[in-house]
Structure 1
Amino acid sequence: MATINGIIEEVLTNEGGYVNDSRDRGGETNFGITVATARANGYTGPMKAMTRDFARSVYMKQYVVAPGFDKIAAISMSVAAELVDTGVNMGPKVASTFLQRALNGLNNQGRDYPDLLVDGVAGQKTRDALSAYFKKRGKEGEIRLLALLNALQGERYLSLAEGRSANEAFLYGWLARIAA
């Protein structure tokens, strides 16, 4: 998974094909793309017939380029992969918020780089903080940052299951995203 295309292919594989589970508030999905997202991106056909290529284009536009995760990939492909996967499952703003919170917690009380405004936008200041973090912490820092991002993701999954009993049906499967 050394490329953006590799990240998207992994997401497509993880998401699988067509699903229409009545417990899922997203309704029909195909390749992890909800019917609402498909329609918002111009797809008009039946969800079962949506192609992998269409899903790939939505992922690239909405979950890689729009939130700036392609620019994060230039700093760390592993962090970008985590953000794309989390963004697909929880929304890019949530994924960006996790990164900003994690970087704030790891900045040595602002001595290593300034605190970030936690606004869910992975812009230049977030990228600068990420670069400063890696300059200070190196490869071991990347491993620990990824662990923290996964911890935040896991906590969110548990909160979703606690807040809506129907989501308990999905918790075990959601955890596969962070167990790998």
Structure 2
Amino acid sequence: MTDINQLLDELIEREGGYSDHPADRGGPTRWGVTQAVARANGYSGDMRHFPAERAKDIYKERYWRAPGFAAVAEHAPGIAAELFDTGVNMGTGVAGAFLQRALNALNRNGRDYPDMPADGRIGPVTLSALRAFLKVRGGTGEAVLLKAIEALQGERYIALAESRPANEAFLYGWIANRIGQSCRS
């Protein structure tokens, strides 16, 4: 089982403190939480002083429990850790869709389990497909599925940089610090 508290500590360390980069559409952030998200969760102070514990509470609820990544962790802890980190960086729906797309592509044309919509919502259908995949593929299945998700993540980073040149300011860090980092500790 994945220790969410350890993931939160690692995430806070990776995200760092206060930032207000001119190319970042999210505006002022602290611990990776944008000002808009902090405000939506009741914080009204200066983002330079946004507490790490409040960031962890937001991450635990909005980026772990609500999108269903905690349920994924019951079957594939490494996948859940990657989905959590990707969800924080790209949005939980994007992370969930990466899992669904990878599972669809790895189901051997529906022989192992049926395709599902890649809607980004983790529920009974996605969890059933994940269990079936892990059962069929055994011990190496989780590692291969993780590589597929990370490939999708990397492709998205490149596409973001290509579509908005200002994102090139972040591309190196995204690739260096996001792909695979949530599962290496």
TM-score category of the 2 structures, normalised to the smaller one? over 0.9
**What percentage of residue pairs aligned between the two structures are identical?**
54
Q: Is the 8 A contact 1:4 1:73 kept in 2?
A: no
TM-score by length of 2: 0.95
User: How many residues are aligned here?
Assistant: 180
Output the aligned Cα RMSD: 1.1
1:94 aligns with 2:69: no
Q: Paired residue for 1:133?
A: 133
The one-letter code sitting in structure 2 at the alignment partner of 1:178 is I
Deviations 1:63-106 (A, max 9, x none): 00110111111111100000000000000000000000000000
- The 2-side partners of 1:10 and 1:124 are apart by 29
Q: Which runs of 4+ in 1 moved over 2 A?
A: none
Q: How many Å apart are 1:54 and its aligned residue?
A: 0.3
The one-letter code sitting in structure 2 at the alignment partner of 1:83 is L
1:111 aligns with 2:102: no
- The 2-side partners of 1:135 and 1:49 are apart by 47
Q: Is the 8 A contact 1:158 1:171 kept in 2?
A: yes
Q: Paired residue for 2:39?
A: 39
- The 2-side partners of 1:105 and 1:31 are apart by 34
Q: How many Å apart are 1:119 and its aligned residue?
A: 0.9
- The 2-side partners of 1:38 and 1:173 are apart by 23
Matches for 1:49-64 after TM superposition, within 5 Å: 49-64=49-64
Q: How many Å apart are 1:167 and its aligned residue?
A: 0.3
Q: How many Å apart are 1:109 and its aligned residue?
A: 0.5
- The 2-side partners of 1:139 and 1:152 are apart by 22
Q: Paired residue for 1:165?
A: 165
Structure with higher RCO (Cα < 8 A, 6+ apart):
2
Q: Secondary structure, in 3 states, of the residue corresponding to 2:179? A: helix
Q: Which runs of 5+ in 2 are unaligned?
A: none
Q: Paired residue for 1:5?
A: 5
Q: Secondary structure, in 3 states, of the residue corresponding to 1:150? A: helix
Q: How many Å apart are 1:179 and its aligned residue?
A: 5.1
Q: Which runs of 5+ in 1 are unaligned?
A: none
Q: Is the 8 A contact 1:70 1:80 kept in 2?
A: yes
- The 2-side partners of 1:91 and 1:166 are apart by 19
Q: Is the 8 A contact 2:2 2:73 kept in 1?
A: no
Q: How many Å apart are 1:12 and its aligned residue?
A: 1.2
